[in-house]
Amino acid sequence: DVKVTQSSRYLVKRTGEKVFLECVQDMDHENMFWYRQDPGLGLRLIYFSYDVKMKEKGDIPEGYSVSREKKERFSLILESASTNQTSMYLCASSLLSTRHEKLFFGSGTQLSVL
């Protein structure tokens, strides 16, 4: 089975801190995604990547950046954390680079910014 691993289950950070959320997948998937999930707003796409060193902005990229130096790892960076970035962050991956196939999710990171 595909495994998508997010490094932290829960994180508590202070306003202004730089925060790194790590995601690793073990099935050689080309596509990787970062979503945030908030009550009443559903899942919203932050960034995605379809190849190493490639990235594209999603619907809500402001305040975030990403890094994909290796195919299996996709990192989400909060340059200066703010309280409105308190959320559940979900990483996902899928196989094909040109068309969507089944999407596999990690267990999520619940981030609280105080």
Partner 1 sequence: KQEVTQIPAALSVPEGENLVLNCSFTDSAIYNLQWFRQDPGKGLTSLLLIQSSQREQTSGRLNASLDKSSGRSTLYIAASQPGDSATYLCAVSPDTGRRALTFGSGTRLQVQP
DSSP string, 72-105: TEEEEEESS--GGG-EEEEEEEES-SSS----EE
Nearer to partner 1, 32 or 78 (CB): 32
N residues, the chain = 114
> Could you give the dihedral angle defined by the CA atoms of residues 51, 52, 53 and 59, in that order, rounded to the nearest 10 degrees?
40
* Piece of the chain touching partner 1 by CB under 8 A; list 12-20, 29-37, 64-72, 73-81: 29-37
Nearer to partner 1, 108 or 111 (CB): 108
Q: Is 41 in the site for partner 1 (CB under 8 A)?
A: yes
DSSP 3-state assignment of 64?
strand
Residues 55-94 that bind partner 1 (CB under 8 A): 56, 58, 90, 92
The minimum distance between CB 34 and partner 1, in angstroms, equals 10
The strand pair at 109-113 and 10-13 is best described as parallel
Q: Which residues bind partner 1 (CB under 8 A)?
A: 4, 31, 33, 35, 40-43, 45, 48, 50, 56, 58, 90, 92, 97-108, 110
